[in-house]
Amino acid sequence: MTMTFDVENHNELPIEENFIEQAEYIDRAKFLALSAQHPDEVSILKKLMGGGAKLLIGPRGCGKSTLMRKAFFRILESGTDKAIPIYVNFKLALKLEPFYVNGPNATYWFKAWLVLKVLLAVWETKELDDDIVLPAQLPPKEKLNKLVDILEASRAEDDQVNDFSIGFLTVVMDNLATENSVKRVVILIDDAAHSFSEKQQEDFFDFFRAIKSRTISPKAAVYPGITAHSASFHVGHDAEQIDAWVKPSGQEYEEFMLSLANKRFAGTNIDVVSKNEEDIRFLAYCSFGIPRAFLGMLRSIYNSQEAYTTTDGTLNKNAVLRLSRSGRDMSHAVFDSLSSKLPSYHSYVTNGTKIYQAILSQTKEYNRGKELEKQGLQFAIRTPIEADIGKVFGFLQYSGLIMPSGSILKGEKGSFQHYHVHTGDLTAENVIVGQRTKSIASFLKVVRATKHQAWPRLTSVALLDAAKTKASDFTLSLPVCHVCATPRSNPEARFCSNCGTQLKPSSAYEALVGQPISVLPISKTLEKRIRENSNIRKVRDVLLDVDRRTLLGIPYVGKIRAQQIVGHAEEHVS
């Protein structure tokens, strides 16, 4: 199930902007006012603002963009005596994927696009700080925008981007630092290596490594489990890795999420948080350290107060328990989406769901009959982990369903990798508390209990057995025929073995943008309204509505809601 936002038959609520989850869609003043302090924020921002190359890692929605933008604004606010910040988002890198499908010079075009995007971001920094002196070599913003549009439409010609090499970018950045008498330029690259094209990711890391210098300090937000580094790029040596995912446990975590809730409800004239602190803390745990999921829950309460609150302003406990499932639903939707984003790994997603359910079942069995304070929220698996299961675990981390928490050595029993399991699934699937009379207090008693060094210990073989699957079930799928959907007989096949049609190169991007808007996490009411009042039918149509004129022409869709819809479309293809 996917978490959706509802659209009622009225105009946008006045404070709805407070509940926008993606940091890049909030203006500077609002962003700074709404952001809560990450428990490790001081340490993380110091690294993002300083010298050297860094990789900020974590699943979707865990706050990487927020930290990136905080670093960007913090450097701007501190003046230009030390550094100039450049913030650039590579979310739509998959638009360049057709080059990798259709031609031999994909790396050339992609790296030109990377260079152009960074140069464009220099202009955006200038717009926020007019005191910055731009180097003479920086091309006009209009020219850069035009070339980016041409590349993203796969219409570029060689002579149009010849000059935009990594060498040229380095010269511009060095001169930018010199002209402004600063030590370095910090390039904050959000949604980096986000493309599901492995070769494209490798080309990104070659680019990232090549631009690193004494003057240029690149920082990139990346994802666990799906990121493919190039052969010449080594984490730890070429870049330090920083974990952005907040561990969902302890008082510090509760206060972080409670602060976020208070900031988002500020100005709404709704006293939800102070009257329902324990309920809000419970929802925070069920978001599993992913603020985006938590904000989605808060927005649901704000948009449908009558469904969640009682006459005295307290939250309806049954409604809160139902709402607590939405965080895990969001993560499951991200996991399921990998079937379309990584079609060759379809069997890994299908069997991965079985493996994850087996983990929940094994943990539930472990907790059976135990006192609440002694129930487990984690599992451990003996290493080395079988390769196919390791791939599945990577996908589960990317989706935010399991969180790695280090290795454990158990003497003769061997070494184990330790993982936390999504708290929302633990509560929804009766893995903790069990069949007793459920209450928010009982769930909190389990998650707040002091944990002991005891969890269900699994092996790869036992996990496969519990999932009723086997190693041979994990196979890489070949692209299907675009006419009859028959899988290709072999990777080199030029014609369909079923209908005889000449096979076209497979493009993940084209497949994603060609899907109907029903795949986006929007309500059925909104989907119907879009269809009845516009010609938008597919994800491609949303992305082509560049100025959002079509969306804004739909009844009851204002600026904020249109922004949300576009954001969902961009997330879908990224």
Query: What burial class does residue 23 get, using C-beta atoms within 10 Å of its C-beta: 0-12 exposed, 13-18 middle, 19+ buried?
Result: buried
What crossing angle do the helices spanning 64-77 and 41-49 adopt, rounded to 10°? Answer: 60
Q: Helix, strand or coil for residue 87?
A: strand
Q: Answer whether 375's CB lies under 8 Å from 421's CB.
A: no
Joined tokens for residue 405: 């928490």
Q: DSSP assignment of 361-418, as one string? A: HHHHHHHTT--GGG--SEEEEESSPPHHHHHHHHHHHHHTSEEEEEEEE-GGG-EEEE
What whole-number distance in Å separates Cα of residue 468 and Cα of residue 352? 11
Task: With cut-offs at 50, 70 and 90, classify the pLDDT of residue 10.
Answer: very low
Task: With cut-offs at 50, 70 and 90, classify the pLDDT of residue 169.
Answer: very high
Task: With cut-offs at 50, 70 and 90, classify the pLDDT of residue 166.
Answer: very high
pLDDT of residue 5: 39
How large is the average pLDDT for residues 223-235?
84
Residue 64 has pLDDT above 90, yes or no: yes
How large is the average pLDDT for residues 87-93?
89
Higher-pLDDT residue of 215, 102 = 215
Residue 396 has pLDDT above 50, yes or no: yes
Chain mean position to CA 304: 26
Sheet holding 378-382, edge to edge: 402-409, 415-421, 378-382, 457-458
What whole-number distance in Å separates Cα of residue 24 and Cα of residue 20? 10
Lowest mean pLDDT among 69-73, 145-149, 554-558: 554-558
pLDDT of residue 18: 60
Q: Answer whether 551's CB lies under 8 Å from 545's CB.
A: yes
Q: Helix, strand or coil for residue 39?
A: coil
Instruction: Name the residue with tokens 């936002």.
Output: 5
Which is nearest to 63 in space by CA: 239, 287, 321? 287
pLDDT of residue 491: 58
Number of neighbours of residue 413 by Cβ within 10 angstroms: 10
pLDDT of residue 557: 85
pLDDT of residue 159: 72
What whole-number distance in Å separates Cα of residue 103 and Cα of residue 199? 13
pLDDT of residue 462: 93
Which is nearest to 285 in space by CA: 456, 455, 427? 427
Q: Helix, strand or coil for residue 115?
A: helix
What whole-number distance in Å separates Cα of residue 498 and Cα of residue 320? 52
What whole-number distance in Å separates Cα of residue 411 and Cα of residue 417? 14
Q: Across the strands, what pairs with 416?
A: 382, 408
**pTM of the predicted structure, to 2 decimals:** 0.85
Q: Answer whether 48's CB lies under 8 Å from 54's CB.
A: yes
pLDDT of residue 28: 72
Q: Answer whether 223's CB lies under 8 Å from 229's CB.
A: no
Please state, for a pLDDT cut of 70, what percent of the chain lies above it. Answer: 89
pLDDT of residue 265: 83
How large is the average pLDDT for residues 417-444?
90
